[in-house]
A and B are shown apart, each in its own frame.
Chain A
């Protein structure tokens, strides 16, 4: 199909899973950022909307990351191995962040001992939510800037530290954080049912949208100066300009919709904008998986593995898609939310 191989298709599915992680899991991170900066008279209510919004879908959103990892090591084992070696330090730091925020969020939900302790869990959750995306972005920045093509005999700093601490990588870290925070604020305008809270999140969303735009331009300029970076691919390939125009359109739609208070439209446009950014990156880098080191073809597992995983993906999708649809209808649609079962809500406790 279109000259694509099976390995290309599986790389595409991996990218799709990463895209889902960004727009779903990423928004959970972003919500943690807003939890951190919540201030003023409505801070408590803002935090409550955040907790209600992510509670039921929280665990499922984060499994997308595991899916990405699993696909990577089954279908492109050398890429998984190579990234694990060169990005050891930021990945370990990121994992500590993942562990802390995941458990702190649940501890906060189930700890009813008192507000002081809950605030303590709350701050661990929100601080970890802020730092983790930056680290994730730094890893992506190291990859996209072509900095991971380091010879194995390089010294410690050149091999294990320099690639992910370049200006470009750090800027990508903040870009990722801005994207996650932007998504979260846009979603929360829809989740919040009170007008004053909607207004709060609208303002935050607009600030974040401006940050996303500013950082995107900065990255484009900076990236063009780095040899081996994929940034030229963002504009020079056949479909690059179409993609860039679409991103611009989606971003403008989201921004205008936010300003006008059309929150549902803004949500759709924001998801489109961020997804297009993810695919813009993928397209610019294609067919390299680690620029300068591995391409899809050079890293792909034997055909038999790819075929079986493809079947596994198809079978898994048959289970997953309806399940996810069910989850989101129950908790994210108005009709289902209106249903209230009473027999388990109140009952006479046993003697």
Chain B
């Protein structure tokens, strides 16, 4: 394994691991705050039980998210020192602000988790709100930094050196809004669908449980609007990519030849050698319309770029199909939920819907991972689009396969433990009238 491949793999693996916890770290606090609010309003203990369970889950996920995030803040330099030396002064701004937002989140999470009996109901609830808000804000800032890598602005290149730096313009570049919106909504949709799925699965076995019914309702309250809004924000993101990263769009679509009235390809496997995408279902003019709002618009194919500037086409295309497919399924399930609610004022009575929701439990996570593959692999061979190549940013440190292997083992170990803990400690333990929840959690 070459050092470049090892470094890219380590970065991909670290991001793929961290993003799961980042997503839950944004979504779970909202759920826990909503549940506690219901408890304060109604004094129905089922809501308190839910709030406590969800906060327990948040604590475990936050801890792993925090340490894996710390690792990433070092890895940027450990693997890509030339990139950080180049970009630090330009995109340090969102990272600094993210530092503060994350700090606020950690402080109020400590207050929330350990303050159940130390604070008044109102103060405790507001501490939870602070966790939810600062978690979301910190996620947005990190995405801003990544957005700059996709559409670098806020500086002028003079002899290969960035001058005239404007950190604010760099932070609020053209990719920032669509990308941050898409990721934030994804966090809520993913968490909402995952939690709803788990409780839907439980409800299929225990139809009358008021606990699972309450949990399902709250989770869907977050999941349904987010899943539907995601279609709109996805469209915004695609239009951004079409304008600013045409090579990435071409790879996403497996679109090799520049043409007017370009078709939208559903599925299919791109072959870089023969320059064609086989087994796809073509929707005539679909890509032209989605990218530029005009069925006749010309869409640049990969042939418009030198082959040395192509991203890996097959990976990007397949990942994009996976993301869009799962997103569409989640939106479909959301519409079904709305229709059930409008007709019967209850969603937990349709066994088929519960089944679909249970099946969709991991859907959001897979879609998020696939989406990041599209963003990151689709930008290759650039680490900063059009400005710096990934290979040029690599550390001179040899033997990078060693840290890659070490972190992979470490994260596999952690992943297994977290999954088991969430299962054994929170999901599996049913509310038991004889043993109310421990007061120290």
Contact = CB atoms under 8 A, between A and B. Distances in A.
A59 B110 contact: yes
Interface stretch (B73-81, B244-252, B280-288): B73-81
B77 A84 contact: yes
A207 interface: no
B100 A320 contact: yes
B424 A113 contact: yes
A98 B70 contact: yes
Contacts of A160: 397
B96 A81 contact: no
Given A105-B63, A313-B96, A349-B437, A92 B406 contact: yes
B225 interface: no
Contacts of A56: 110-111, 113-115
B205 interface: no
A55 interface: yes
A323 B107 contact: yes
Given A85-B397, A106-B59, A112-B425, A312 B111 contact: no
B113 A84 contact: no
B274 interface: no
Interface size of A as a range: 35 or more
Interface in B144-197: 165-168
A123 B433 CA distance: 35
Interface residues of B, number: 90
A107 B99 contact: no
Q: Is the interface of A mostly helix, strand, loop or mixed?
A: helix
Interface string B412-441: 001001100100110000011111111101
Nearest to A92: B403
B395 A88 contact: yes
A351 interface: yes
A347 B396 contact: no
A338 B359 CA distance: 48
Contacts of B166: 304
Interface in B59-105: 59-60, 62-64, 66-71, 73-74, 76-78, 81-82, 84-90, 92-93, 95-100, 102-104
Interface in B121-146: 121, 124, 130
B254 to A, nearest CB: 37
A298 B111 CA distance: 42
A54 B69 CA distance: 21
A109 B367 CA distance: 32
A262 to B, nearest CB: 28
Interface stretch (A68-76, A229-237, A266-274): A68-76
Interface in A312-341: 312-313, 315-316, 319-320, 323-324, 326-327, 330-331, 336-337, 339-341
A302 B165 contact: yes
A96 B116 contact: no
Contacts of B116: 341, 344-345
Contact of B77 (A80, A302, A323, A347): A80
Interface in A81-120: 81-85, 88, 91-92, 95-96, 98-100, 102-103, 105-107, 109-113
B398 interface: yes
Contacts of B439: 344-346
A63 B64 contact: no
A59 B62 contact: yes
Contact of A348 (B45, B68, B73, B95): B45
Most buried by A among B46, B62, B107, B124: B107
B89 A74 contact: yes
A103 B118 CA distance: 25
Contact of B73 (A66, A75, A320): A66
Interface in B221-260: none
A154 to B, nearest CB: 11
A331 B93 contact: no
Contact of A350 (B56, B118, B433): B433
B93 A74 contact: yes
Interface of B: 44-46, 48-49, 52, 56, 59-60, 62-64, 66-71, 73-74, 76-78, 81-82, 84-90, 92-93, 95-100, 102-104, 106-111, 113-121, 124, 130, 165-168, 210-211, 395-398, 403, 406-407, 410, 414, 417-418, 421, 424-425, 431-439, 441
7 contacts: A99-B71, A103-B417, A106-B60, A107-B60, A110-B56, A320-B103, A339-B119
